[in-house]
Amino acid sequence: MKNLVVGAGFSGATIANLLATELNEEVEVIDSKDHIAGNCYDYKDENGITIHKYGSHIFHTNNEKVWDFISKFTDFNTYMHKVYANIDGIETTIPFNINTLYDVFPKSLASRLEEKLLAKYEYNKKVPILEFTKETDKDLKFLADYVYEKVFLHYTTKQWGVSPNDVSGAVTARVPVYISKDNRYFQDKYQGIPLEGYTKVVERMLDHKNIELVLNKPFKDYKKAYQKYKRVFYTGAIDQYFNYELGKLPYRSVNFKFETHKQEYYQQNSVVNYPCNYDFTRIHEYKYYLNEKSDKTVIAKEYSEAFETDKNERYYPIPNDKNTELYNKYLEKAKDLDNVYFLGRLGDYKYYDMDKAIARAIELFEEIK
């Protein structure tokens, strides 16, 4: 009997690859989209620029197992991701760090704040903004309120539709206040962009005699027939699997407005955030990732919006207590199913980065094998 994997993103491709290679089992992989790689999908456009169709993806991990696994399918460049932000017309770096202090404040104020920060926190400490705003020292409270207002409040409201207090603290803690001069966005041991893109990585994961791939295939066509499979690995939305019978889990979606410009570069960096002004949250400029040369450049302005069935795509689960409670009810129902396993951002309703999605698939494989 074969396995069925629903979804050809990183989660599905990882589990399919492990079943095929390590257990020598047959796997049928279906995806409702007309391409593999899920929201990590990328392609080279007519200008020779690799476009991340669903927004910038930077691979980063501290997990040796995940790094060893993905490195079987690709080499990476030595890209170190930085994010710039435009705060009141000043271009500076995000996460807000000691260098940012000197970009946005007069030198005397910046150095007073730096001294106070270093007296209070260890160098290289990452402080979540919601913790930082509890500061009682007058200067540090001024700084915390400034960062909250200029970096987090409006960006988070645009991105999630609610203020930073109404999404799980883990969301804004992904981008801490960083008591450091390190301008990188990620400090992981391994990071980079796959030299031939993410789609190629997933293509290689699925390229095995035991794996059959069927695109443009919605799971509903298979639901009744699933008993004929040894196991089903479902990486789609868990609420959809159960026909929303307990209610819909909310997700955020994103709309990218692409523009091609007849100039070598549009902005200074691959990603520039607009945390306070403008309706978009950030602008991506793709040629930076693989240092591709062209006399044109392609950018995407990112607009966040609520997910609506049949209108747009699911990008982010929305972690908060209410949604977790509903997800847990679906999880209880899932436990009653024989041989159906849920995984991935949508299956687990968790805000996984790519490495976490792969790690979860590897762990699940180790449990079942």
List interacting residues with ligand UDP (CB under 6 A).
85, 94, 151-152, 155-156, 159, 171-172, 174-175, 273, 275
CB of 306 to ligand UDP, least distance (A): 14
Measured from the CB atom, is 216 or 277 closer to ligand UDP?
Answer: 277
**Nearer of residues 133 and 159 to ligand UDP, judged by Cβ:** 159
Q: Supply the minimum distance, in Å, between the C-beta of residue 109 and ligand UDP.
A: 22
Distance CA 185, CA 174 (A): 10
Nearest to 239 by CA among 317, 123, 140: 317
**Which is nearer to ligand UDP, 21 or 168 (by Cβ)?**
168
Q: Residue 153 CB, nearest distance to ligand UDP (Å)?
A: 7
Residue placing its CB nearer to ligand UDP in the complex, 12 or 275: 275
Nearest CB to ligand UDP, comparing residues 86 and 235: 86
The burial of 365, by beta-carbon neighbours within 10 Å (0-12 exposed, 13-18 middle, 19 or more buried), is given as buried
Using alpha carbons, select from 164, 161, 162 the residue that is nearest to residue 308.
161
Q: Which is nearer to ligand UDP, 174 or 230 (CB)?
A: 174
Whole-number Å distance between alpha carbons of 208 and 324:
37
Question: Please, what is the minimum distance in Å from the beta carbon of residue 62 to ligand UDP?
Answer: 16
Nearest approach in angstroms of CB 179 to ligand UDP is: 17
* CB distance 50 to 271 below 8 Å: no
Given a contact cutoff of 8 angstroms between Cβ atoms, the answer to whether 286 and 52 are in contact is: yes
Q: In angstroms, what is the minimal distance from the CB of 335 to ligand UDP? A: 29
Question: Hey, what are 306's tokens?
Answer: 């609520």
Q: How far is Cα 286 from Cα 155, in angstroms, rounded to an integer? A: 21
Quote the distance between the C-alpha of residue 221 and its chain's center: 29
Residue closer to ligand UDP by CB (options 180, 273) is 273
- State the nearest-atom distance from the C-beta of 158 to ligand UDP, in Å: 9
Q: How far is the CB of 134 from ligand UDP (least distance, A)?
A: 18
Residues in CB range of 348: below 8 A, 6 or more apart: 238, 342, 360
Cα–chain center distance at 367? 25
Closest CA to 52 of 37, 70, 30: 37
Concatenated DSSP letters for 208-243? STTEEEE-S--THHHHGGGGGSSEEEE-S-HHHHTT
Return d(Cα 163, Cα 146) in angstroms, integer: 15
Q: Smallest gap, in angstroms, from Cβ of residue 159 to ligand UDP?
A: 4
Which residue, judged by CB position, is nearest to ligand UDP in the bound state? 155
Please identify, using beta-carbon distances, which residue of 175 and 232 lies nearer to ligand UDP: 175
Cα–Cα distance measured from residue 351 to residue 338, given in angstroms and rounded to the nearest whole number: 26
User: Toward ligand UDP, which CB reaches closer, 4 or 175?
Assistant: 175
